[in-house]
Homo-oligomer: A and B are copies of this chain.
Amino acid sequence: MDQENKKQLASEWFRELRDNFCSQFETIDGEKFVRNKWSHSGEGGGEMSVMKGSVFEKVGVNISTVNGRFKEEFRENVSGTENSPNYWASGISIVAHMHSPYIPAFHFNTRFIATDEQWFGGGADLTPTIINDDDVEEFHNTFRDACNNHDKSYYQNFRKQCEEYFFLPHRNEERGKGGIFFDHMNTGDWKKDFEFVKEVGMAFLKVVPSIIKKRKDIGWDENEKNLQLLKRGRYVEFNLLWDRGTQFGLKTGGNTEAILMSMPPEAKWD
């Protein structure tokens, strides 16, 4: 398959998945997403969909397809840019901050990157405040199954990468309760890798509504809400201090509003 074909298939899938997520989340919430288009400082652009509802305190679903030329200072950090600074990237990102401290915050991302090399990356993880082991298990089981359908080594490997990535060294704390994280995936069989990436998206589309539906009618008190706001403070610390995507995006002319869509609507510090 030629490169242009792959780019088209990947970016179309991310858009289709976006439509599915927005539709599912609107059904759960009753509120509607507000959509904004933005254009990239290189070429291309994205669409940011945000809903502030009665179940979702704030959920953002962002897709983008951009291309450009990396500045010299960034090339050393990106594979396949030794001979050419050109890049193309398409992806989908979701961050959901819920009203209820009984429902975890959810994060999901998948992307396809092409320089002189090409690869998929992505992952999904959950950040509960009041930890319900059943939910954590359901989340992990869903991604274990999705992984196992493709390669028996994936789940342990990607789970470990997730644990290592979503960690706050300055607090010696994990951000959440894990999930999966993978990067530079290129097995040499593009179709196979693409099928896996699609399955990760479908897994998230299945497990998030399932957990929300189980927990959304539980009431909470001010003290529990406060714990959630403090947990979100840690979430902010991770994203601004340690998240490579955030740092990289803000320093390569990415769209600030889209990148910082991950910020919670409200957070507290002790």
Whether the Cβ atoms of A250 and B240 lie closer than 8 Å is: no
Q: What separation, in Å, do the CA atoms of A236 and B267 have in the docked complex?
A: 10
Interface-central residue, A170, A229, A233, A263, by most chain B CB under 10 Å: A170
Within A190-245, the residues touching B (CB, 8 Å) are: 229, 233, 236-237, 240-241
Copies of this chain, tallied across the complex: 2
Q: What separation, in Å, do the CA atoms of A260 and B259 have in the docked complex?
A: 23
Can you give 6 A-B contacts (C-beta < 8 A)? A58-B269, A233-B263, A236-B240, A241-B241, A266-B268, A267-B268
Q: Which residue of B lies closest to A238 (CB)?
A: B240
The minimal Cβ–Cβ distance linking A65 to chain B, given in whole angstroms, is: 21
Partner of A269, one of B171, B247, B250, B265: B265
- The answer to the question of A256 belonging to the interface, with a C-beta cut-off of 8 Å to chain B, is yes
Q: Using a CB–CB distance below 8 Å, which chain A residues touch chain B? A: 58, 169-171, 229, 233, 236-237, 240-241, 247, 250, 256, 259-260, 263-269
4 A-B pairs with least C-beta separation: A240-B240, A263-B269, A170-B250, A170-B256
Whether the Cβ atoms of B263 and A265 lie closer than 8 Å is: no
Contacts beyond the supplied A236-B236, A265-B268: 14 A-B pairs with Cβ under 8 Å: A170-B250, A170-B256, A170-B259, A171-B256, A229-B266, A237-B240, A237-B260, A241-B247, A241-B250, A260-B269, A265-B269, A266-B266, A266-B268, A267-B267
Q: What separation, in Å, do the CA atoms of A236 and B266 have in the docked complex?
A: 12
Q: What separation, in Å, do the CA atoms of A260 and B233 have in the docked complex?
A: 11
Q: Which residues of B contact A240 (CB under 8 A)?
A: 236-237, 240-241
Q: What separation, in Å, do the CA atoms of A269 and B250 have in the docked complex?
A: 17
The minimal Cβ–Cβ distance linking A48 to chain B, given in whole angstroms, is: 12
Q: Which residues of B contact A269 (CB under 8 A)?
A: 58, 260, 263-266
Q: What separation, in Å, do the CA atoms of A268 and B267 have in the docked complex?
A: 6
The minimal Cβ–Cβ distance linking A260 to chain B, given in whole angstroms, is: 7
Q: Which residues of B contact A260 (CB under 8 A)?
A: 170, 237, 269
The minimal Cβ–Cβ distance linking A55 to chain B, given in whole angstroms, is: 19
Q: Which residue of B lies closest to A172 (CB)?
A: B256
The minimal Cβ–Cβ distance linking A56 to chain B, given in whole angstroms, is: 14
Q: Which residues of B contact A229 (CB under 8 A)?
A: 266
The minimal Cβ–Cβ distance linking A53 to chain B, given in whole angstroms, is: 15
